[in-house]
Amino acid sequence: MKRFLLGLLCIVSFSMSANLQADQKISQQDQHLGVNSCGGSMCHGRQHSTGDVVYQNEIAIWQSSHSYLGAHHRAYQVLNGALGKAITRNMGWEDASKRGECLGCHTDLVPESEQGLYYQITDGVSCESCHGGSERWLKLHYDASWDASRHADVGYVDLSNQNLKAQVCLDCHLGSNKGNQFVTHEMMSAGHPRLAFELSIFEDLQAHYEIAQPKQGQELDVMTAQVWALGQITAAERYLSLVLHREVDATLVPELSLFDCRACHQDFADAGAVFDSVQGRDDGRKIGQLVLSDYNIRFASLIELSLVLDSSAQIADLLVQMNRAVALSREPFREAVGKLRAGLMQLKARVGEASMEAETIRRMRARIFTSDSLVRDYAGAEQVYFALLALGVDSDQVNLFLSDQIAEPSKFSHRAFREALIELEAEQSSQSISAL
């Protein structure tokens, strides 16, 4: 895990109003007018948050230096930083800041015909990367009668729609099939960081807008839990669509960045480590088989099991079938992936339908504490860390027990993480007993 996240995530995660409507279409043709067209003291260019409806200092927040709030603004600059240069050199390229393969996620890359008056590639991940090209809505959206949810027709991306928001973030934080938005194993080998993402926490880390606080006396933050759940399921589904897409392109060697890094990058001479990772395997994989990086799917299964208490749960079985099919040939594999995607879509609709009950959140937490398969790999353990924070477990405690465990992927031990998790749970229950 990147150094910055550790210890920093002492933020209680709050979230904004629910709006889980169906997807809207994002218009691809609108011109992107550039950050300068959002400036101005009557607009988003104030120094302080003095606005009545929104802060109006969004640009200043987005430009924050030395904090995650400013990461999107810096996204272009990092391409020419020391690491960016090293990656480029290792790729055998001249200049990353001219390569679509990098600009696709580090800037608001659009075709020339869509580059409007103040468009600048150097703006990095700019307002319109997320909110949509503003050609048709710029002059409408400050009107008193503006209702974001009804303006998809003018190219405005309504990010209060949780599903749409998740899709927008995942394009860059997991990858997309749109072209120029995928971090290959080659790029990772050249030095690109592994991508790690969790919707509810990452959105707090870049919030340039007001985040609703939980109501007084509300024990659990239901909305954040729902965003967390939806983020997991959407990521699981996106992952499978990347797998299918890359599988079509597969040469002799498939795209390795879609597999569990530790499947290959572990010290095979260390017998202890091997036994450790083989234990508790109930996921359909054969020992020695290449392992898909299926952590979001495992969380989706956990969400399903906490939500439906009858026998209609299906994700776990479908995942086993897919993992078995990895060792078979292409057609059975594609079929298994298709079924799993359909299962995830159903689950997503279910999560979006009604607000989550406090009891469901407690069940999810209990399952996370006791699950062995979630923490099988490093990426899963990292997501357990995010999940416990998102689901309202005391952040100091989570950091105390778990942050060392995930500080360094190469030192990760499944067994040690499990033990730390058990200790954390014991601490939690002793606290809640003493609170009675």
Map the footprint of ligand HEC across residues 30-49, applying CB under 6 A: 35, 38, 44
Among 26, 290, 305, 320, binds ligand HEC (CB under 6 A): 290
Residues in contact with ligand HEC, counted by CB under 6 A, come to a total of: 71
Tokens of 277: 């990772």
Among 18, 33, 105, 384, binds ligand HEC (CB under 6 A): 105
**Rounded-to-integer distance, Cα 157 and Cα 282, Å:** 41
CB atoms within 10 A of CB 140: 13
Map the footprint of ligand HEC across residues 247-286, applying CB under 6 A: 256-257, 259, 261, 263-265
Q: How far, CA to CA in Å, does 382 sit from each of 34, 133, 414, 420, 435? A: 36, 34, 11, 13, 29
Please choose, from the candidates 376, 427, 430, the residue with its C-alpha nearest in 3D space to the C-alpha of residue 401: 427
Please choose, from the candidates 286, 303, 282, the residue with its C-alpha nearest in 3D space to the C-alpha of residue 233: 303
**Rounded-to-integer distance, Cα 228 and Cα 226, Å:** 5
**Which range in 22-30, 173-181, 227-235, 317-325 contacts ligand HEC by CB under 6 A?**
173-181
**Which range in 23-31, 88-96, 225-233, 352-360 contacts ligand HEC by CB under 6 A?**
88-96
Does 98 contact ligand HEC by CB under 6 A?
no
Tokens of 435: 């609170």
Please choose, from the candidates 159, 246, 150, the residue with its C-alpha nearest in 3D space to the C-alpha of residue 206: 159
**Which range in 119-127, 278-286, 367-375, 412-420 contacts ligand HEC by CB under 6 A?**
119-127
Does 386 contact ligand HEC by CB under 6 A?
no
**Closer of 206 and 383 to ligand HEC (Cβ):** 206
Tokens of 266: 């572990």
**Rounded-to-integer distance, Cα 117 and Cα 34, Å:** 7
Write down the least CB distance from residue 396 to ligand HEC, Å: 21
Please choose, from the candidates 337, 330, 406, 339, the residue with its C-alpha nearest in 3D space to the C-alpha of residue 374: 406
Does 202 contact ligand HEC by CB under 6 A?
yes
Among 1, 33, 102, 398, binds ligand HEC (CB under 6 A): 102
Among 74, 151, 341, 365, binds ligand HEC (CB under 6 A): 74
Residue with tokens 């790029």: 187
Does 165 contact ligand HEC by CB under 6 A?
yes
Write down the least CB distance from residue 93 to ligand HEC, Å: 7
Among 57, 167, 181, 234, binds ligand HEC (CB under 6 A): 181
Residue 309's contacts (CB-CB under 8 Å, 6 or more residues apart) are none
Does 206 contact ligand HEC by CB under 6 A?
yes
**Rounded-to-integer distance, Cα 119 and Cα 383, Å:** 36
Map the footprint of ligand HEC across residues 313-342, applying CB under 6 A: none
Does 16 contact ligand HEC by CB under 6 A?
yes
Position 80, amino acid? N
Write down the least CB distance from residue 45 to ligand HEC, Å: 8
Does 134 contact ligand HEC by CB under 6 A?
no
Among 13, 88, 277, 314, binds ligand HEC (CB under 6 A): 88
Write down the least CB distance from residue 20 to ligand HEC, Å: 12
**Closer of 297 and 424 to ligand HEC (Cβ):** 297
